[in-house]
Structure 1
């Protein structure tokens, strides 16, 4: 078999692997949430906070929050999720507004903490 065929095959395999990794969020800018991916900004108003556990070895603390998401293109939607806090971040309290992003029409299954941009 000619050497050039082997080289082309190896290049195709490497290119495919790189494309898959970048698509899954391994590359810079890929896998991020932006307006082009159909997400919009909203606000989660905290209605309940679960008990925090002790900090892990990196100083992170985990707590469960429940609340209502308000935003454009959606009716108020009740959700819950887990929030990771740094060692110096205060725990959210009832009534705290947190930024979230979500896909309109799929708020319950697509929302995440954060903001676009």
Structure 2
């Protein structure tokens, strides 16, 4: 059996049992300290931040100009494509109207004079 305070095989300490009184209080304090230390380490891991690097004003302005130009070009392309869509819709509707007006004109032909076969179902 391992002695108290020595490490076991898996890296765990052997359990120690205390009598009533001050020993229990000191045990509770030591447990609280270790748990608080763990919590602080976790917080420090998540709190590691990088110091902001100062960017020169010129570089920022250049990037801002580039993004503004790009946005303006995209807006211009969208407006142009929207106009083209409207034009194509108008042309298509004109073409459909012209097609419909020519289709309405009846061309006289032999379709009414041909004899039809009679079908009987028995």
Q: What TM-score do the two structures reach when normalised by structure 1?
A: 0.27
Which one has more relative contact order, counting CA pairs under 8 Å at least 6 apart? 1
Point out the structure with max Rg over C-alpha. Answer: 2
Higher strand share: 1
Higher helix share: 2
